[in-house]
Amino acid sequence: GQNIDQPTEMTATEGAIVQINCTYQTSGFNGLFWYQQHAGEAPTFLSYNVLDGLEEKGRFSSFLSRSKGYSYLLLKELQMKDSASYLCAVRDSNYQLIWGAGTKLIIKP
């Protein structure tokens, strides 16, 4: 079967750095996405990785290792507005997205 694993919940301090991990087992791989979802809102796109390595976009970076079936999202200089759920999704061989259950990130002052 296909599986995306990520921690259910994480807590971090404002101004700090946090790393949210995602491991996956899917039938084929055509890219990995990270989305942010604030409570009661729709998911919004953060990053896309298809090749191994680090993609940096401002305070957010995403890393991919295809051989390990592993990705992480790194958030720097945390702000209170970063409190949200972070969703990892993998595009499989049918070009459909398989979604993890999401990681709820709680930022404390």
Partner 1 sequence: IAGITQAPTSQILAAGRRMTLRCTQDMRHNAMYWYRQDLGLGLRLIHYSNTAGTTGKGEVPDGYSVSRANTDDFPLTLASAVPSQTSVYFCASGGTDTDTQYFGPGTRLTVL
Q: Where on the chain is the footprint of partner 1 (CB under 8 A)?
A: 4, 31, 33, 41-45, 48, 50, 87, 89, 91, 95-102
Residue 79 CB coordination number (10 Å): 11
Q: How far is the CB of 106 from partner 1 (least distance, A)?
A: 16
Phi-psi region of 53 (alpha: psi -120 to 50; beta: other; left: phi over 0): left
Backbone angles phi, psi at 81, to 5 degrees: -70, -10
Q: How far is the CB of 14 from partner 1 (least distance, A)?
A: 27
Q: Which is nearer to partner 1, 42 or 80 (CB)?
A: 42
Q: How far is the CB of 70 from partner 1 (least distance, A)?
A: 17
Q: Which is nearer to partner 1, 78 or 87 (CB)?
A: 87
Q: Which of 1, 3, 4, 13 is nearest to 103 (CA)?
A: 4
- What type of residue is 64? L
Q: Which is nearer to partner 1, 41 or 56 (CB)?
A: 41
